[in-house]
Amino acid sequence: MNLENNIKLRQQFERFSLQSAAAIKSVSEILKNKYDPDYKINSVGKYIWLSMGLRKREYWSPTLRLELLEENDNRTTIKILYGPDPILWAIFVAIHFILILISIIFAIIIISKWRAGLPIAFDAFVIFVCINIWLLLYCIGRLNKRKGSAQLQQLMTIMEKIITP
């Protein structure tokens, strides 16, 4: 499986397990102690989070969230979400929001100055810079996805050990 092309930013998919949610959580607790320094496994309620431990963590390191939904026949549906570190993701989205806000404000200023016959060079330059920052963020996101694909494969292997009976 070529993760670099198949795993999209924050991709969500489902898997099914013949184990109960409690059995899956107990396996995750056992593996938590086994993989402790290199991998971080947290479990709260019906969720299990997998991420890289402090030894292997980089700013591009992915995380994996498992949501355990127990069915009536003692099987479990597992909703899986791959994505970047939640804090990094929040910062990334906040930067995008700020750039959009700046672009809208300066677009309004450009229209007002243009209608008044005033020079708009600085305001157009600010919008040009915002667009270039968006392109830079896109390239950084693609690069980080490529860098994190090996770690994503490692997390996927641990996930399989947790959910496979």
pLDDT in tens, 123-138: 999 999 999 999 999 8
For residue 54, is pLDDT > 80?
no
Asked if 110 and 96 touch (Cβ cutoff 8 Å), the reply is no
Q: Which residue in the block uniquely carries the two structure tokens 């270039």?
A: 132
Q: How far is CA 25 from the centre of its chain?
A: 23
Full set of structural domains in the chain with CATH? 1-165 (3.30.310.80)
* pLDDT score recorded for residue 8: 52
pLDDT in tens, 64-103: 888 998 887 878 888 988 888 888 888 888 999 999 999 9
* pLDDT score recorded for residue 134: 92
Q: How many residues are given for the chain?
A: 165
* pLDDT score recorded for residue 135: 93
25 contacts: CB under 8 Å, gap ≥ 6: 43, 48, 68
Give me the amino acid identity at 135. Answer: L
Q: How many helices (H) and strands (E) does the chain have?
A: 4, 5
pLDDT in tens, 1-28: 454 455 455 577 888 888 888 888 888 8
Q: What tokens does 39 get?
A: 């991998």
How many other C-beta atoms can be found within 10 angstroms of the C-beta atom of residue 58? 11
Report which of 49, 50, 64 is spatially closest to residue 10, judged by C-alpha positions.
64
pTM passes above 0.75? no
Q: What tokens does 54 get?
A: 């402090």
Q: What tokens does 111 get?
A: 């229209």
36 contacts: CB under 8 Å, gap ≥ 6: 53
Report which of 79, 91, 89 is spatially closest to residue 16, judged by C-alpha positions.
79
